[in-house]
Structure 1
């Protein structure tokens, strides 16, 4: 599949606006679909994955942010792969979690999965055609990749997201068990979490000394904490979730200039403010929190990207982003 030319405004599109996301349906629908039960997940792919791809050694699943602009993220990931010299051996998959406004704007077929507003970020079930969690949809992508007839040379899967997509990746890494099947088949699974607005904590501890929990009763409720976990994680114990999470290979990729406490897409709720004033601070606070809880060490790392703020394309195409995504 030929790489499409990249518009010069890609980076601006990746810096999504919460107001835009709430008020309008998605502009561009992804052209492909993955059948999941009675529903179809909208996806973009860099190569035709309906046929065997014996040359593919890595799959990169890239998650869009609030604008649900999966095609923009697909093109940005393709650019990163080109710069790394990895495009021909990498399959890029960009799932698109459409919502009810998208259904109205595009007259979506009944079979296409869609969620209410931004509920897909927290792993909530779809509105229709079946109550499928957005995280369960990601499980199905992993299941498809774990097919040695289609992908005989696949050696690793990287699940990456920026901004709202990074929120998905962090919570998915915390709750999924689907990666175990791939690892059992010799396929490494890694996660790249770039500039999310917030993280899910494992207890009531928060880094801001002045935080008043009494005035923010939801601060430890999902997706900010482990109270009231989504149905996707039903039956999993908090201790087991945390232990599995800290054992996963995770890179926290943070823009050194993502320091605007008034960024238009920054989560300004009290639940998020308890984690820090801006994204860089929140990421550093969370990593410090994990290292304090697990002094024996983590299979994780925090990497700052110099000179970059809240811009997905610049994050992923930076030298630090290249190494995180492709190990180069």
Structure 2
């Protein structure tokens, strides 16, 4: 595929033609591998201070399960924090983590920490592993982590709703001024597998229906990102190349065969324009270096075995593609032949990089330390944290 081809409009498909799996799941089936993703999930428990509710998604009676702050004062709520769980699909744990971080910031009188807020943690059920834990109308997925790519649910039977539809429904709920007349900010947060979904949602999800509610996307330590072109960094000391890795640019890893959404029918370049114009904070744990994330060749081509390196390469990539003036000295990533997409912005992009120096692949450490807390609660400036020594 040439870079010019990326300007072509992507297919606008009917709900029936959207995918239940993606290239990652297809590869798993061929190789009988799954990276251990999601298999350790246990019985969900409603945490203290929370309730498990169901929000409607679409118009056919389907619902998404969400852990939700118990007894909120809806009339006074100014902020909502939507915390997406990771590959183990433990929404209860992620609700507790975000609620703990919020309470800590409130207790410390941290500037930007709201007095009245709701913490919401969606629960993406597995049809296989969570059987009996959800009702007839609740969304669930046959492939354990197809939701990370925005794939179509397989339950209820015949549904064509995706995990991105579920996020749309949650965002629409919070931006409903009748239900939440004081709402000012919605922060969409993901870590690990949840950050994979949130980063893809930041690129392709629909705009908020309310001009008075500000939306931020915080993307923490994903294993892979949705590349907008076919270009990848040159890897040292690796036998993996784009020529020997089938599907390296197929959706979830790139935009080839992206199934599209009902809300848009645009090119990958247009999705890039949308992504860089939104308030997206790429949050990275500097010590997230264990090779225990996605180790398929498609993910390795995004920067090697380590999540940290892949996400630093991603920062290099989006700035190089946009031709920003951001200093990239010392950042990993070596691209050749990237098209010039500087016409997608007016001199700067809204995406920011924040690196938590002493955090590994640990959601609580990433979000509770100074840099992570800033990404969650500082409205204007975000503490950038670590940078390469010669940057």
**Among candidates 296, 300, 303, match of residue 273 of structure 1:** 300
| 2:140 partner SS | coil
Q: Which runs of 5+ in 2 are unaligned?
A: 1-33, 47-51, 107-112, 325-346, 380-391
**Counterpart check, 1:80 vs 2:101:** yes
Distance in structure 1 (CA, Å) of the matches to 2:253 and 2:163? 17
**Cα distance in 1 between the residues matched to 2:198 and 2:161:** 17
Q: 1:291·1:297 contact (CA, 8 Å) conserved in 2?
A: no
Q: Does 1:250 align with 2:273?
A: no
Secondary structure, aligned partner of 1:293: helix
Residue 244 and residue 231 in structure 1: after superposition, are their counterparts in 2 closer, same or farther (change >3 A)?
A: closer
Question: CA 1:255/1:142 → structure 2, altered by over 3 Å: closer, same or farther?
Answer: same
How many Å apart are 1:70 and its aligned residue?
0.4
Q: 2:53 — aligned with what?
A: 32
After TM superposition, the structure 1 stretch with the greater mean CA deviation from structure 2, 248-257 or 225-234, is: 225-234
Q: Is the 8 A contact 2:79 2:114 kept in 1?
A: no
Displacement of 1:165 after TM fit?
0.5
What is the CA distance between 1:121 and its match in structure 2?
0.7
Contact map agreement 1:62 1:93 (CA 8 A) in 2? yes
Q: Out of 68, 71, 80, which is 1:59 matched to? A: 80
User: What residue in structure 2 maps to residue 9 of structure 1?
Assistant: none
Distance in structure 2 (CA, Å) of the matches to 1:26 and 1:68? 9
Counterpart-to-counterpart distance in 1, 2:63 and 2:166: 10
How far is 1:103 from its partner?
3.9
C-alpha distance in structure 2 between counterparts of 1:91 and 1:313, whole Å = 18
CA positional deviation for 1:25? 4.7
Structure 1 residue 189 displacement after superposition: 0.6
Give the CA deviation at 1:45: 0.7
Separation in 1, partners of 2:248, 2:281: 25
Matched, 1:213 2:242: yes
Provide the residue aligned with 1:5 in structure 2.
none
Task: Tell me which residue corresponds to 1:8.
Answer: none
Corresponding residue of 1:138: 167
Structure 1 range deviating more: 30-39 or 212-221: 30-39
Matched, 1:166 2:195: yes
- Asked if the contact 1:257–1:308 (Cα under 8 Å) also holds between the matched residues in 2, the reply is yes
Instruction: Find the counterpart in structure 2 of residue 69 from structure 1.
Output: 90
Structure ID, larger Rg: 2
Equivalent position of 2:386 in the other structure: none
Task: Pick from 126, 143, 154 the counterpart of residue 127 of structure 1.
Answer: 154
Worse-matched range after superposition: 226-235 or 67-76: 226-235
Q: Deviations over 1:212-254 (max 9, x none)?
A: 2121120101010001112436622222111111101111110
Question: Does the aligned pair in 2 maintain the 1:123–1:230 contact within 8 Å?
Answer: no
Q: Take 1:20 and 1:226, find their aligned partners in 2: how far apart are those partners?
A: 23
Once the two structures are TM-superposed, the CA of residue 152 in structure 1 deviates from its matched residue by 1.3
How far, CA to CA, are the matches of 2:114 and 2:365 in structure 1? Answer: 18
2:144 pairs with 1:114: no
Q: Are the structure 2 counterparts of residues 20 and 272 from structure 1 closer, same or farther at C-alpha, using a change threshold of 3 Å?
A: closer
Match among 359, 367, 381 for residue 316 of structure 1 = 367
Q: Deviations over 1:272-305 (max 9, x none)?
A: 0001121111111001111111123210111110
For residues 29-54 of structure 1, the C-alpha deviation after alignment (integer angstroms, 9 at most, x for no partner) is: 562111223212111011446xx612
* Distance change >3 Å, CA 209–CA 306, structure 1 → 2: closer
Q: 1:18·1:66 contact (CA, 8 Å) conserved in 2?
A: no
Normalised by the size of structure 1, how large is the TM-score? Answer: 0.87
More helix by share: 1
Residue by residue, what CA displacement relative to the aligned partner does 1:54-108 show, whole Å, maximum 9, x if unpaired?
A: 221111111001111001000100011011114642211111110112343x353
